Structure 1
Amino acid sequence: MQKRPLIKIELIEKLTNELYLDHKVAKSAVEKVLNYIADAIKEGRRVELRDIGSFEIILRNARVGRNPRSPGNKVIIPPRLSIRFKPARYLKDAVKSLPVEDFQKNKTDDNNSKKTDNKAGVKSKKTKQ
């Protein structure tokens, strides 16, 4: 079972609590750092964050694709720019040490794909998150 994602407000709260910063100051700091990273990428610069990884812009070459609705038709997909994240070795090694079982779907999760969500015990399908 994967854990929930880390979101920006959690970073702000950690800075507020661990560094005893005012909430507004922590929020401003997090937003500025993220904006600096985004601005550098938009300028075409490579962004390297030690022990985390690097972001870079790559060129995806033109290629031939197929329309799934009419498989016989070939479509030329033009070249385009994309962002690639390359994790640092430290981060890769840290991920390798995690237990695989925590990320595999449990068989009981499949059996319990329906859940009760009201007091009457009526079952409803799980919604995608």
Structure 2
Amino acid sequence: MIRSELVARIAEQNPHLTAQEREAVVRTILRVITKALVQGDRVELRDFGTFSIRDRDPRAARNPRTGKQVTVPARVHVYFKPGKGMQARLNLEKVDPEEVAERI
């Protein structure tokens, strides 16, 4: 699903919202999550999952074109861990499919 599909899904479920309001909802949620991660905070959405950041150490790698060794600097990356509710819905473990459709 891409961002425009997410906005369209919100439109289906909330016909009372204007196009600007639907876009603002998606933009605000993503901005708040991004700001929290930039500040080093963890974002937990119950039954969905947790976003956090992790540090990657610098390492040696090879350029696939030339085979020459290059140094990859230390970086920070976003880590997502799905919640138990998400795992259950994905694997349909003792979950009624209609109930899953209602949650989504």
TM-score (norm 2): 0.69
The amino acid that maps onto 1:18 is Q
Indicate which of 91, 94, 108 corresponds to 2:86.
Answer: 91
- Percent identity, please: 33
Question: What's the counterpart of residue 13 of structure 1?
Answer: 8
The reply on whether 1:52 has 2:48 as its aligned counterpart is yes
Task: Give the aligned residue type for 1:75.
Answer: V
Alpha-carbon deviation of 1:31? 1.3
Give the alignment partner of residue 35 of structure 1, picking from 20, 31, 34. Answer: 31
Q: Which entry has the higher C-alpha Rg, 1 or 2?
A: 1
Q: State the match for 1:62 in structure 2.
A: 58
Distance 1:68 1:30, change over 3 A: closer
Q: Report the Cα offset of residue 36 of structure 1.
A: 1.1
Count of aligned pairs between the two proteins: 92
Higher share of residues assigned helix: 2
**Alpha-carbon deviation of 1:93?**
2.7
Q: Corresponding residue for 1:100?
A: none
Where structure 2 has 5 or more consecutive residues not aligned to the other structure, the ranges are 93-104
Q: Quick one: which of 76, 81, 84 aligns to 2:71?
A: 76
Give the 3 Å change call, closer, same or farther, for CA 74–30 of structure 1 in structure 2: closer
Q: Distance in 2 between matches of 1:67 and 1:16?
A: 45
TM-score computed with the length of structure 1 as normaliser: 0.58
Structure 1: give runs of 5+ residues left out of the alignment: 1-5, 98-129
Pair 28,69 (structure 1): closer, same or farther in 2 beyond 3 Å: closer
